[in-house]
């Protein structure tokens, strides 16, 4: 199977919380990342978490890491229409080996 | 601050024609550089990476090639494009001192 897996679509209402999930297979990963891609644009690094952490919070973003289950999630609080984008989970353990999921398309409805 | 540029932004080329996409990075020296391809509805596929001038590693065998003629310039080329080369091509850089990669705005290539 794929090294990093994500569900392809998520739809939420404005003001709700969004939770985007990701699973990975390589337990030796040292960093896990979340990137955001708006239509027709490149990827923007949102946040990352080191593999010895369980949680990282940055304003509206909360990253949770369950190392036992190899599960990573990104929670966006108070989701806004501007949060509509594709969100990529990625894992890496050195500079030249970063693997991306297929991306989750988040749609925020007013 | 560092910036990364790609051009052209969009390109429509016939099958069998050559290709040259350019990526440049400003505000840093000796970056690691990467070319990715993003097919519609799919994740990113790493095509090439470079840790220095003239040093290119290929991840996927195909009719594309990459070159790094200068420290902050990375070029993706093909002698003859295939229909399957259509996609969104992203260049990224990394400082070599951290793990995160920073992406350019991308080039949308359509092979007709």
Interface-testing mutation among B4, B44, B107, with chain A (most A C-beta atoms within 10 A): B44
Q: Does A56 touch chain B (CB under 8 A)?
A: no
Residue-wise pLDDT for A9-45, tens only, equals 999 999 999 999 999 987 777 789 999 999 889 999 9
Q: Give yes or no for residue A110 having a pLDDT over 60.
A: yes
Residue-wise pLDDT for A55-106, tens only, equals 999 999 999 999 999 999 999 999 999 999 999 999 887 656 788 899 999 9
Q: Does A46 touch chain B (CB under 8 A)?
A: no
CB B85 within 8 A of CB B111: yes
CB B52 within 8 A of CB A19: no
User: What are the contacts of A9-12 at 24+ separation with CB within 8 A?
Assistant: A9/A104, A9/A105, A9/A107, A10/A104, A10/A105, A10/A106, A10/A107, A11/A106, A11/A107, A11/A108, A11/A109, A12/A79, A12/A106, A12/A107, A12/A108, A12/A109
Which residues 57-86 of A are in CB contact (within 8 Å) with B? none
Q: How far is A38 from chain B (nearest CA, A)?
A: 10
**Cβ count near A15 (within 10 Å):** 11
Per-residue pLDDT at B96? 79
pLDDT in tens, chain B (112 residues): 889 999 999 999 999 999 999 999 999 999 999 999 998 767 888 899 999 999 999 888 679 999 999 999 999 999 999 999 999 999 999 987 777 899 999 999 999 9
Sequence-distant (≥ 6) Cβ neighbours of residue A59 within 8 angstroms: none
Nearest CA in chain B to A87: B43
Q: Do B41 and A92 touch (CB under 8 A)?
A: no
């Amino acid at each position: 199977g794929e090294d990093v897996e994500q569900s392809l679509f998520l739809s939420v209402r404005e003001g709700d919380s969004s939770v985007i999930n990701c699973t990975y297979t390589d337990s030796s990963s040292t960093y896990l990342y979340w990137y955001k891609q708006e239509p027709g644009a490149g990827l923007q690094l949102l946040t990352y978490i080191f593999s010895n952490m369980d949680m990282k919070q940055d304003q509206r973003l909360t990253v949770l890491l369950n190392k036992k289950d190899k599960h990573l999630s990104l929670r966006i609080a108070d989701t806004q229409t501007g949060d509509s984008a594709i969100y990529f989970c990625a894992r890496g353990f050195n500079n030249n080996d970063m693997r991306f999921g297929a991306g989750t398309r988040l749609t925020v409805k007013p | 601050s560092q910036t990364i540029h790609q051009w052209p932004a969009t390109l429509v080329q016939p099958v069998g024609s050559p290709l040259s996409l350019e990526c440049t990075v400003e505000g840093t020296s000796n970056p690691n550089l990467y070319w990715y391809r993003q097919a519609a509805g799919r994740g990113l596929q790493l095509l090439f990476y470079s840790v220095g001038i003239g040093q290119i590693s290929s991840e996927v065998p195909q009719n594309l090639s990459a070159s790094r003629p200068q420290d902050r310039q990375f070029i993706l080329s093909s002698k003859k494009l295939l229909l399957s080369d259509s996609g969104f091509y992203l260049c990224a850089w990394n400082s070599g001192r951290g793990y995160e990669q920073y992406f350019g705005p991308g080039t949308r290539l359509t092979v007709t």
